[in-house]
Amino acid sequence: MKGSDSKSASFEMTWGSSASSGYCSEEDPEAEFEQYFTARTSLGRKPRSEPRAEDKDEPVELEKQELTVAEVQQKVKEYNAQINSNLFMNTNKDGSYTGFIKVQFKLVRPVSVPAPKKGQDAAAKRAGGVKRRTSFYLPKDTSKHLHISSRTSAREVIEALLKKFTVVDNPGKFALFERSERHDQVYLRKISDRERPLHLRLCAGPNEKVLSFVLKENETGEVNWHAFTMPELKNFLRILQREEEERVKQIVQRYALARTRMQEALAGSTPG
């Protein structure tokens, strides 16, 4: 982190894994036309009657731990002594500090990025000068390291991740969660926009089981469909229709096979 006295935080990212897509598309906001090439089922999930362990919410008091300059220096010293990498924290004279946090992506919907520069001219001509973009799914275990300041808020972390990944979706679609493991249970807590992730990291220590960060869709039980554009909504309908048709086809084939086997069994059996 350079220039710690500046209010605006600077960010650095290291890639934990490469991005690949399950769905690929190009979107034209004006024509409201988009094509998805489906490679796997994603939206047709069964509803859960009971929350999973990762859905459990438990209050965490780490953000309330206000530290003096001396306490920050001591905690940073203890933190650095526990890690075996170069992801150290550094203190500044004004009491602020900088360091790394790791954020894991767990997104169930596609993200949108600008269309590749190669072929943009041709795409623009086809779209009548309208900018196009590509949508794809991130791998489940994608993770990123950010170098941030103790003054960096959770909202700034989300915006930095999207900027580094050139994601053009509204940052309001996403939320940062705190994940912890205690007593064989996994807890998730949604971090408020004003909380400081690096402060949470310092108070919790470097152990990922005690605290880790997860980027997920910003949901409170129901999907905020109003946050999506018209082409995205129409795309979801197309995907659901294709998946429904495929599911119906599978069910019809299953029952047809069962009927055939029962008829064969009846034909080969002796009455009585």
Are the beta carbons of 82 and 216 closer than 8 angstroms? no
Q: Which of 67, 59, 214 is nearest to 150 (CA)?
A: 67
How crowded is residue 38: how many other Cβ atoms within 10 Å of its Cβ? 15
* pLDDT-based confidence at residue 131 (cuts at 50, 70, 90): low
Indicate the fold that domain 13-228 takes in CATH: Ubiquitin-like (UB roll) (3.10.20)
The pair of structure tokens assigned to 52 is 């999973």
Report the chain's mean pLDDT, rounded to a whole number: 75
pLDDT for position 236: 81
Average pLDDT of span 200-216: 94
Average pLDDT of span 201-229: 83
Q: Which of 60, 57, 71, 12 is nearest to 202 (CA)?
A: 71
The pair of structure tokens assigned to 116 is 């590749």
Whole-angstrom distance, CA of residue 134 vs CA of residue 132: 7
For 72-127, the pLDDT digits (tens) are 999 999 999 998 888 899 999 888 999 999 999 988 888 888 877 665 555 555 55
Average pLDDT of span 162-170: 89
| Structural domain spans, the chain | 13-228
Q: Which residue has the higher pLDDT, 69 or 50?
A: 69
Given a cut of 50, whether residue 15 has pLDDT beyond it is no
The secondary structure of the chain in percent helix, strand, coil, rounded to multiples of 5, reads 35, 20, 45
Q: Which residue has the higher pLDDT, 220 or 133?
A: 133
For 222-255, the pLDDT digits (tens) are 666 777 788 878 888 888 888 899 999 999 999 9
pLDDT for position 118: 60
Whole-angstrom distance, CA of residue 26 vs CA of residue 48: 32
pLDDT for position 25: 41
Would you say the C-alpha torsion 16, 18, 23, 28 has a positive or negative sign?
A: positive
pLDDT for position 75: 93
Given a cut of 80, whether residue 6 has pLDDT beyond it is no
Tell me the percentage of the chain whose pLDDT exceeds 90.
Answer: 38
Q: What angle do CA 127, 133, 139 make, to 5 degrees?
A: 150
150 class by beta-carbon count within 10 Å (0-12 exposed, 13-18 middle, 19+ buried): buried
List, in sequence order, every residue forming a beta bridge with 100; answer none if it has no partner.
147
